[in-house]
Amino acid sequence: MNGADSLCDTLLANGVDVCFANPGTSEMHFVAALDRKPQMRCVLGLFEGGVTGAADGYARMADRPAATLLHCGPGLANGLANLHNARRARTPMINVVGDHATYHLVHDAPLTSDIESLARPMSQWVGRAERAQDVAPHAAEAYEAAMATPGVSTLILPADAAWGDVAPETQPVVAGPIVKHAVNSAAINAAAAALRSGRRTRLLLGGLALRADALEIAGRIAAATGARLLAPMSNGRIERGAGRVPLERVPYPIDISLVALADIECLVTVGASVPVAFFAYPGKPGRLIPDGAEVVEMGAPGDDLLAALEALADELGATGPAILAKAPEAQNVTDGALTVENLNILLAGAIPENAIVCDESVSSGRQFFAMSQGAPRHDYLQLTGGAIGIGIPLAAGAAVACPDRKVLLLQADGSGMYTCQALWTHARENLDVVTVIFSNRAYAILQGEMRNVGVNHFGENARRMLDIDRPALDWVSLSRGMGVEAGRAETVSAFRKLLTEALSRRGPFLIEAVL
């Protein structure tokens, strides 16, 4: 029995039984140990951004971490962008990053790099198991750290710690129970006072306060006090749809968000931060709420937000029913060319009951959230950290976590290219994901931002950096190249037909919606 075996045992003992992997030579003993543990499900990604994005999607749905297996500093580096998104989504995750044997580092062999420096910006916990006997306790610590806030833990596993012997009777280390911190009553009382004050108050809900149980309580509070419910711009997961409590989201475009939040006199935050502009713009504010607005913080992201909301509702006597989202009238879409508008209507109208919707539609899908408020119940997973290239992996991970649920992925074309390799994982694992590519053949969001900085006529260099036509990407060909069946639609009727077919069967399918 070696350090790698004890790592597998400790992961399994803590309920971590999925490993998204892209291994290399320094991880071969860990691969061999995984091979001795058929109860661990190993899911290969052809690129590490697909690995970490999938681990994010998995944990958002499973509420427990997956492990990742990454190869040295460069392998971790390739996964960092989606670790950044996971960090912003506060997703539990345990990265296992292989490194050279401890005594080999002195040679500065080609793959040597400063893994800790790479890991820290995107991890809330970083550790290195120097010896085989350290591996299991470090892994348990990584698990506890991942579950506590929650967040990303990165465990560096030198090859000699993996292959080194541990005593044959070595037991896995089981982490203690994860206890959520209770929100103090002063904060709850302050929130109650704000909600009773008669001022225009919003309840900004983040993290686990966006699940159906918490939202139901928040909805009762809203009904009792007249406060409006608000979600941050970007969220790991919202449970929503007809029969659930609806809420608005902070808009992305700076001018629209300033208008939307201009009337706030008091903001009660529940596991969320005061909304800020995604980017700075000359002469525009960074905080999106009025300077004079009072802010009451009722709980940090890792706190027991559900209990805090219950206590607040009790305090307010908010026992009456919440206002729930209702199924909308079906919208009639006339046939013709696909547009952003009719595509969003068609998608919002087609969400299957109990689906998981992953949204990396970027600028094209901005209308989708409001349109799908009353769609059949679904989970809604977003790009959280602005690091594009999450969609295809995120959908993969969600599908691994929830094999009985349909995953619908809304994917912008420019962003989708960053981690297109994850389509192969959709095929390899026969995941039940329907991917819709919003194919506008441009970095449309950046074209808008160029206009924001006052450039309305693009020269050759700007066009060559903001268009992704010439040549146009052929997503059907790309998708088939990775083993995922695909079709292209340029009209409403063609799209509707493809979407209906794709949703009515199991397994991965990609639709290129040409805009």
Nearer CB in complex with a copy of itself: 113/354: 113
Residue 267 Cβ vs a copy of itself, minimum distance, rounded to whole Å:
15
**Contact status: 368 vs a copy of itself (CB under 8 A):** no
DSSP secondary structure code for residue 121 in this structure: G
C-alpha distances out from residue 245 to 62, 148, 219, 231, 241, Å:
22, 27, 6, 12, 8
Q: How large is the C-alpha radius of gyration of the chain? A: 24
Residue 277 Cβ vs a copy of itself, minimum distance, rounded to whole Å:
7
User: Site mask, a copy of itself, residues 469-488, x = CB under 8 A?
Assistant: -xxxxxxxxxxxxxx-----
Is there a contact between 151 and 145 (Cβ–Cβ < 8 Å)?
Answer: yes
Nearer CB in complex with a copy of itself: 162/222: 162
Which of 1, 12, 101, 224 is in the footprint of a copy of itself by CB under 8 A?
101
User: Considering only 108-116, 129-137, 289-297, 304-312, which stretch makes contact with a copy of itself by CB under 8 A?
Assistant: 108-116
Is there a contact between 44 and 205 (Cβ–Cβ < 8 Å)?
Answer: no
Residue 146 parent element (H or E): helix 132-148
Local structure of 409: helix, strand or coil: strand
Which of 277, 295, 307, 324 is in the footprint of a copy of itself by CB under 8 A?
277
Query: In whole angstroms, what is the distance from residue 202 CA to residue 222 CA?
Result: 9
**Contact status: 77 vs a copy of itself (CB under 8 A):** yes
**Contact status: 110 vs a copy of itself (CB under 8 A):** yes
What does the block give as tokens for 434? 């329907």
C-alpha 500 chain-centroid distance: 26
Nearer CB in complex with a copy of itself: 123/153: 123
Query: In whole angstroms, what is the distance from residue 188 CA to residue 268 CA?
Result: 10
Query: In whole angstroms, what is the distance from residue 95 CA to residue 71 CA?
Result: 10
Residue 29 Cβ vs a copy of itself, minimum distance, rounded to whole Å:
6
Residue 73 Cβ vs a copy of itself, minimum distance, rounded to whole Å:
6
Residue 459 Cβ vs a copy of itself, minimum distance, rounded to whole Å:
4
Residue 13 Cβ vs a copy of itself, minimum distance, rounded to whole Å:
18
Query: What is the chain's length?
Result: 515
**Contact status: 337 vs a copy of itself (CB under 8 A):** no
Question: Is the torsion defined by CA of 311, 314, 319, 325 positive or negative?
Answer: negative
Residues 209-248 that bind a copy of itself (CB under 8 A): 233-234
Which of 1, 12, 13, 37 is in the footprint of a copy of itself by CB under 8 A?
37
Residues 374-433 that bind a copy of itself (CB under 8 A): 384-387, 389, 414, 417-418, 420-421, 424, 427-428
In the numeric block, the tokens 């146009």 are attached to: 472
How would you classify the pairing of strands 266-270 and 294-297?
Answer: parallel
**Contact status: 259 vs a copy of itself (CB under 8 A):** no
In sequence order, which residues have a C-beta less than 8 Å from that of residue 263 and are 6 or more positions away?
A: 200
The alpha-helical segments, DSSP class H, found in 63-114 are: 72-89
User: Considering only 130-138, 149-157, 183-191, 455-463, which stretch makes contact with a copy of itself by CB under 8 A?
Assistant: 455-463
Query: In whole angstroms, what is the distance from residue 261 CA to residue 390 CA?
Result: 28
**Contact status: 315 vs a copy of itself (CB under 8 A):** no
**Contact status: 458 vs a copy of itself (CB under 8 A):** yes
**Contact status: 335 vs a copy of itself (CB under 8 A):** no
**Contact status: 159 vs a copy of itself (CB under 8 A):** yes
Nearer CB in complex with a copy of itself: 307/450: 450
324: left (phi over 0), alpha (psi -120 to 50) or beta: beta
Which of 44, 190, 212, 258 is in the footprint of a copy of itself by CB under 8 A?
44
User: Considering only 23-31, 204-212, 238-246, 401-409, which stretch makes contact with a copy of itself by CB under 8 A?
Assistant: 23-31
Nearer CB in complex with a copy of itself: 74/172: 74
The 3-state secondary structure of 200-264, one letter per residue: CEEEEECHHHHCHHHHHHHHHHHHHHCCEEEECCCCCCEEECCCCCCCEECCCCHHHHHHHCCCC
Nearer CB in complex with a copy of itself: 199/463: 463
Amino acid at 327: A
Query: In whole angstroms, what is the distance from residue 374 CA to residue 327 CA?
Result: 4
**Contact status: 161 vs a copy of itself (CB under 8 A):** no
Residue 244 Cβ vs a copy of itself, minimum distance, rounded to whole Å:
25
User: Considering only 109-117, 298-306, 326-334, 343-351, which stretch makes contact with a copy of itself by CB under 8 A?
Assistant: 109-117
